[in-house]
């Protein structure tokens, strides 16, 4: 898959720097992830009025899955998107003892982002499975997002694509495309006291989307579970849910 083909999936918005269609990728068996159904993004709270109209009228966005903690939502907000799409809050990180801006404090922080993604996989199985189940059942276009649209969102994207049979190399490319707007994403995060603290607490590499991190995450997943299907079975994502996912999303 060429870079040009993948970049065609970006959705240009004033208030988001990492909003893109996850569809369009080919599976190892030659099937295609349908476009216009599942999107991934950074935070949606800065969407402009033209952005909202575009998402409503051109994309028909009907559902939003918010992966952020309640502390992040409280401090950063959700924006006007909640007035035109159904919101599903499924935080991947536990809350931390009531201290603002410390949603990661319950974790023993690993040394790099690939390890953090694996830790997320192991500690957030319930919300991750629920995200996949929702995406299998929605009858409207949906977006899932976090703050930067590359870490929590990247883990969900990787699992979803892998469950559909998209090759690892394509998944790694999709993850790394956040680098295209990484300076804009980081500048926005650093403008917030909440995210300054959160980013400071993350491992080295948190301000990047290094493909080596996603490669390490996928390798550890397969080392532990044999395959993404092995992880899904252990996590409680049954074959019927995975079949519904493929039926809805694959040509």
Residue 204: strand, helix, or coil: strand
Asked if pLDDT for residue 76 goes beyond 50, the answer is: yes
Let me know how long the chain is: 251
Sign of CA dihedral 35, 38, 42, 47: positive
Contact of 163 with 132, CB cutoff 8 Å:
yes
Mean pLDDT of the region 159-186: 96
Q: Which two tokens stand for residue 126?
A: 């319930």
Residue with the larger pLDDT of the pair 97 and 190: 190
Query: In angstroms, rounded to a whole number, what is the distance separating the alpha carbons of residues 27 and 35?
Result: 14
* Torsion over CA: 128, 86, 153, 190 (sign): negative
Of 46-55, 158-167, 196-205, the poorest mean pLDDT is in: 196-205
Q: Do 88 and 134 contact (CB within 8 A), yes or no? A: yes
Asked if CATH classification 3.90.190.10 holds for the domain at 3-249, the reply, yes or no, is: yes
| Strand-strand pairing, 86-89 and 142-145 | unpaired
Over residues 190-196, the mean pLDDT reads 84
Q: Where are the domains of the chain?
A: 3-249
| Distance, CA of 152 to CA of 158 (rounded, Å) | 10
Decide: helix, strand or coil at residue 169: helix
DSSP 92: S
**Residue, of 7 and 186, whose pLDDT is higher:** 186
**CB 9 within 8 Å of CB 113:** no
Task: Identify the weakest region by mean pLDDT among 7-21, 38-52, 62-76.
Answer: 7-21
Distance CA 173, CA 47 (A): 26
Given a cut of 50, whether residue 102 has pLDDT beyond it is no
Q: Are 170 and 39 in contact (CB under 8 A)?
A: no
Mean pLDDT of 123-129: 96
- pLDDT (mean) for 80-91: 97
Total Cβ atoms within 10 A of residue 53: 12
- Return the beta strands (E) in the chain as ranges: 20-21, 38-41, 63-66, 86-89, 142-145
């Amino acid at each position: 898959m060429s870079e040009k083909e993948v970049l065609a999936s970006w959705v240009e918005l004033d208030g988001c720097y990492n909003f893109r269609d996850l569809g369009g990728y080919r599976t190892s068996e030659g099937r295609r992830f349908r476009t216009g159904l599942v999107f991934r993004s950074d935070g949606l709270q800065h969407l402009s009025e033209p952005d909202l109209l575009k998402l409503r009228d051109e994309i028909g966005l009907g559902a939003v899955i918010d992966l952020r903690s309640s502390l992040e939502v409280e401090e950063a907000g959700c924006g006007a998107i909640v007035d035109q799409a159904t919101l599903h809050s499924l935080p991947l990180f536990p809350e931390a003892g009531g201290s603002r801006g410390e949603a990661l404090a319950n974790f023993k922080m690993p040394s790099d982002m690939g390890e953090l993604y694996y830790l997320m996989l192991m500690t957030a199985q319930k919300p991750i499975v629920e995200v996949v189940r929702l995406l299998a059942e929605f009858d409207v276009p949906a977006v899932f997002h976090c703050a930067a649209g590359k870490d929590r969102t990247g883990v969900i994207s990787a699992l979803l694509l892998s469950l559909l049979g998209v090759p690892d190399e394509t998944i790694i490319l999709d993850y790394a495309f956040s680098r295209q707007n990484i300076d804009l994403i980081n500048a926005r995060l650093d403008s917030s006291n909440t995210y300054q603290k959160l980013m400071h607490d993350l491992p080295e590499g948190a301000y990047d989307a290094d493909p080596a991190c996603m490669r390490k995450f996928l390798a550890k997943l397969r080392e532990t579970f044999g395959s993404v299907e092995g992880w899904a079975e252990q996590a409680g994502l049954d074959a019927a849910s995975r079949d519904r996912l493929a039926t809805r999303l694959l040509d």
